[in-house]
Structure 1
């Protein structure tokens, strides 16, 4: 039986402090809909237990609660979380993955603390220096692209970019069903002469690996064109690209809502176009792309937005479930070993 951990702790929720019912609502939905998974909920038992009373006896039997006294705040540094918050829900959830009591952990907490605790407790796979945050993005033609790193490592080396490419390729194979997924490096131009030394060194390295379907450079606007299946960059650039695209999606949705209600004629036209607008919104809705995987670890850790809605957090849980079913860390380990052997 596969076990799954959902960490419930202090997070930002629409600009304020944690609102556990949001996370619990998503977790209970997953319990009801996925009977092949057991769940361990880490957090304040006095908050969790009343919500569990809403479950049937059969569903309730698949949930274990681990009470935690400490809370990792968004303002806590990674070192504070590691040294002084040893009974936090985040740490207990990650420890469950470390000790094989759980196959995956989902958290909406402090990203730096999550990265630090996962790196310290679960460790990285052999051949991987640092884990990377990766998430799906929508593209043309109803496809998806993997973008990494999204902020786990603001500064990185060309070797790290190479490792991201290998891991992203494996994830695209497993999660997207792609045979020889197209891997690209994000750059300021497609020409070989463009880019900084870091990108050029990674480009030269990737060209020497036949096990990867490396297609060269792409620019920022190519992320959404279905030109590549995996787009690799450093954590600083990746995080800016992700947040910018999310902000643009929200701007477009809000502008459509505002314009469609500005007058009677607009409201009438909006009603006629409603099915089309809903279809477009469902394609670009950031909620369904919530859930960034911290790949390169010996276990599965998925990071949800701190201000995620219940629907968005549920999508993060589904992401972790799918990775657990597909045994993604083992697949990455196998690919890394193959690629490293080719270079000997």
Structure 2
């Protein structure tokens, strides 16, 4: 089934939301292309859901403007914005069948009875629930209820679909299955999707672009690859994926910039000077015995293994740096290549200089980021 629905463009121009002295979102600006899938990613209290609620019309911005397809909708009420919405808690009517739940918004939008019947059939087919029309919500599993909520939201082909942590209450296998459903529906309908999540893997798997929030502000906007490979700051690097962090400083040595940490250093193309952090993703770090010797120009540091997690195809080592180097993080190696080390062993870490991203050093910010990320992952 393929629909002719066309997504809407969305523009946020410096929108902010204040609740008395508390700032929930500050100067959020974003341009979303028609048909794009954009995730708002961040920990609790970061401003992502507040931003979604302002787009939907549940909250009015304290300042700034919101435009859909070039039309300023900042002061337009919810029911006139032509937006589909999928909530975390399903929000199904318990006294209505699956069919009646999906039909409800069609009635509100003035569809005729034949049009409603066709749209309900199409939506239920899209989410693979055609045989569940007469079921009541209480007779469905959590995943089936979420698919009904999705069918209800897409039944009238909204050009803009907002999704607020729709999969967070489901188990991992079901989340991954429904992620596939959401990707399929997005491709088929061409609807513009704004998707709120605190799950980094979910955002990476679903999105054309990701907007990373922290403390009410946008930290970075980019494709999953851009954010993973070239984070703008320490918070984004720690929040989006695992990594090794090496604390040090960028110094000028004989006219060129070098990153120095403990006993290791290497030339860098850095736009920062002074305290800095080198961030290396876990798949780009080699872990070997403490006496391992790196090649010329290959940075290496000593570390102590703090934890080992066997993951089938790979092994994850959590390490702290040693011998004057400060930092630590995670190294991942394939099961076949992982060395026979134990918790407490000393090891040697090495990486190619081009795989290290240099970020401005800010130990306080790093600590705040770690605290927020730990809260999300608990």
Whether these two folds match at TM > 0.5 is no
**Structure showing greater Rg:** 2
Report which structure shows greater RCO (CA 8 Å, sep ≥6): 1
When normalised by structure 1's length, the TM-score is: 0.28
When normalised by structure 2's length, the TM-score is: 0.26
Structure with the higher strand share, 1 or 2 = 2
Structure with the higher helix share, 1 or 2 = 1
